[in-house]
Structure 1
Amino acid sequence: MADDKSGRDKQAHDEERRQREREIAAELERGDEVEPPVDASTLAYFETELESVEFPATGAEIVSAVGDREIESVVETYTIADLLPDAPAESFDSPAAVGTRVQRPTVATAMKRVVEAVARLPNAETNRSQREAYERTFRALADVDGDDDDEAIDAVADWIVDRVAEKERVPGSRDVRRQAAKVCRENGYEIRDDEWLGV
């Protein structure tokens, strides 16, 4: 493809189309998940509060603009600063993408810890697909460990943060899935080979 304006526009358009396809596929996969702990009307109201933010926006920009806003879950009340990483490493394409992240507060807080831990390393970062894989792993743990206060999510987030601090590198998504499966099996949960965690 020629390196001119139309070629770059086509590449950008193709990437946007692929991203939309990934988001649709992810939504379809989540169709069987348990109901998120944040009410849909709460999320819809929160998304309207994000109108002051220009998207795409980093977690740091969103926290700066609306970090003190509160989201109520069925268990607890969180501020947006509790749920989104105050780091420029992760960006969100739309208010709906932010809403998707905060609808499961335990997953959001785990992702916040991971992104902020990686941001502290001088030359490390996670790419979008790696963060999506981490988030999918945390969501799978939430579905498996739904009745146990999401202890498995905390255990895997601790493992990732410890690895980042000790080895000064970011663990691969497959390593994270293996660790998540190990935590589940140690706690008596069966993980089938055809599941996301069954690596």
Structure 2
Amino acid sequence: MADNKSGRDEQADNADRRQRERDILTALERNDETEPPVDERTLGELETELDALSFPATAREVVEAVGDRTVESDANVHTVAELLPETDQEIFDEPATVRTRVQRPTVAAAMKRIVEHCQSIQQTSLGTSQREAYEKTFRALKAIDADDDDEGIQYMADWIVERVDETGKLPGSRAVRREAATFCRENGYSVRNDEWLGV
């Protein structure tokens, strides 16, 4: 691309197009919310309380500051301490990041268990992209049958913890998706090849 007005305009148009595509993908993921909604007022109050903390803040600092604060969904009531791991390895950039994490209580509780278990194993930590893949798998399991007792999420959290105990490392996201798909099929749920779990 030439470094002239036309070339710069084309670069700007391409950047705008890529941003719109990212925004659309983000919106589509958000439309795929699978858990009962957490009360927005409660989340807003939590975010206000978090303003007293200095960010970035570790998950441990957040739990110490607001761990007894409750987060209520249509299905259940949880404390922040039940949803966030007590660790210095997870860092939140801003209060909105904490809010996003706790607004899916079932997924947050499963991830808390995995993160805290990894702490007990030396040299095992959950990277950002792996965390996102695990969370996406849990959301897909929740979407399979939103009315169940989160049996799939519990099963997969157990499976991941067992793999860590056996191998000393976290299973890859593809292995997690494959096991989740197997669990679904064995329990009578169909998984299409074009879905997240269809590996």
TM-score using structure 1 length: 0.83
Shift of 1:166: 2.1
1:145-160 equivalence runs, <5 A? 145-160=145-160
Instruction: Output one character per residue of 1:125-148: Cα deviation in whole Å (capped at 9) or x when no partner.
Output: 121111111111111111112010
Partner of 2:56: 56
- Paired with 1:139 and 1:28, the residues of 2 have a C-alpha distance of 13
Partner of 1:11: none
Q: Which sections of structure 2, spanning at least 5 residues, go unmatched?
A: 1-20
Instruction: Provide the aligned C-alpha RMSD in A.
Output: 2.0
- Paired with 1:174 and 1:78, the residues of 2 have a C-alpha distance of 30
Over alpha carbons, which structure has the higher Rg? 2
> Compared with structure 1, are the counterparts of its residues 22 and 165 closer, same or farther at alpha carbon in structure 2 (3 Å cutoff)?
farther
> Compared with structure 1, are the counterparts of its residues 92 and 23 closer, same or farther at alpha carbon in structure 2 (3 Å cutoff)?
farther
Partner of 2:176: 176
Partner of 2:143: 143
Query: Helix, strand or coil for the counterpart of 1:198?
Result: coil
Report the identity percentage.
60
TM-score using structure 2 length: 0.83
Q: Which sections of structure 1, spanning at least 5 residues, go unmatched?
A: 1-20
> Compared with structure 1, are the counterparts of its residues 47 and 142 closer, same or farther at alpha carbon in structure 2 (3 Å cutoff)?
same
> Compared with structure 1, are the counterparts of its residues 84 and 125 closer, same or farther at alpha carbon in structure 2 (3 Å cutoff)?
same
Partner of 2:130: 130
1:1-199 equivalence runs, <5 A? 25-34=25-34, 36-199=36-199
> Compared with structure 1, are the counterparts of its residues 23 and 44 closer, same or farther at alpha carbon in structure 2 (3 Å cutoff)?
farther
Instruction: Output one character per residue of 1:120-174: Cα deviation in whole Å (capped at 9) or x when no partner.
Output: 1111112111111111111111111201021100000010011112221111111
> Compared with structure 1, are the counterparts of its residues 144 and 178 closer, same or farther at alpha carbon in structure 2 (3 Å cutoff)?
same
